[in-house]
Amino acid sequence: MAGPSLLWPESRAPSERPAVWINAAMSLDGKLAFSGGKRATLSSPRDLDRVNGIRATSDAVLVGAGTIRKDNPSLRVHWERLQGLPPLEGIRRDPPPYRVVLGSLRDIPASAKIFDGTLPTLVFSTRGEDVSRSQGSLKVVACEGPRVDPMVPLRWMRSHGIRRLMVEGGSAVLSTFLQGGLFDRLTLFVAPVLVGGSLAPSLVSGRETHTEGDLTRLRLTASEPLEGGLLLTLEPGVGPVVA
C-alpha cells in the first residue's frame, strides 16, 4: 500500500484564499471528543504521523479559541514523527508554520501554549480586542463584527504569503469551513469506537438542516485502512465514490 497522500490540493483553491486542508479524527458515530468537549485520543500513532506530515508541509495550522481553551495544544510540528513517512514536498522548518486561532482573546487563558513565544502566532479576533498585544511572535488582527467572518482571515493570510492552511478544529470551526465550502480537501480518520450521548461534540454542528437542499455534499475520493481505523479523503461537491 502506498499510504495516504500528503500532496496539497493547491490547484483547486480560489485565488482569494489559501488552499484549505481540513483534518479531523472522529468516532464511528461522528464524535470528536468526550462529553462536554473533554479530549479523546481517537487517532492511532500512524495517523498522528500523517497529521504531523500535513502540519510540516503547511504554511499555517488553524483552530478555534474553544480548542485552545479545552485542549491547550501547542500546534507545533513534532518532527520526530516524520521519520516513517515518505519524503515530503514543501516542509517549512524556518520559519515554521504559523499557529492561527479564530476567536476572542478574552476566551484564551494567558497560560495557553500558543502564547509561549516559540512560534509565529496569529489570532484573528473580534472587534474591540486589544491589538496592542501584538508583540514578538504574536500578532493580533481585529476583525469587524461580533463574530469572525472566516473569509477575512483567509484573505489576510493569502495576501501575506500563506498558501497552505491546515484546519484542525474544533466543531464550530469545522462546521463553518465545511458548511461554507471553504475547503479543498477533508481527511477523516474514523476510529472503531462509539462515544454516544448528546453532549459530545460532533464533526459538524452549525446550522440546522431541514431539506436535502440544506445538505453539505462531498465527494469521496479515497477510503483506506490505516493502523487502528479507516482514513477517508473527501472533496467538496458530488461525484462517484473512488475505491
pLDDT for 130 equals 66
Nearest residue to 144 (alpha-carbon basis) of 158, 133, 155, 160? 155
CATH class, domain 13-236, is alpha beta
Residue 129 contacts residue 22 (beta carbons within 8 Å): no
* Dist. CA 131–CA 223, nearest whole Å: 44
pLDDT for 7 equals 87
pLDDT for 29 equals 96
Q: What is the mean pLDDT of the chain?
A: 90
pLDDT for 242 equals 46
Most confident of 36-40, 147-151, 158-162: 158-162
Strand pairing class (229-236; 185-191): antiparallel
Q: The pTM is what?
A: 0.92
pLDDT exceeds cutoff 70 at 241: no
Task: Please report, for the chain, the start and end positions of each structural domain, with discontinuous segments joined by +.
Answer: 13-236
Averaged pLDDT for residues 20-42: 95
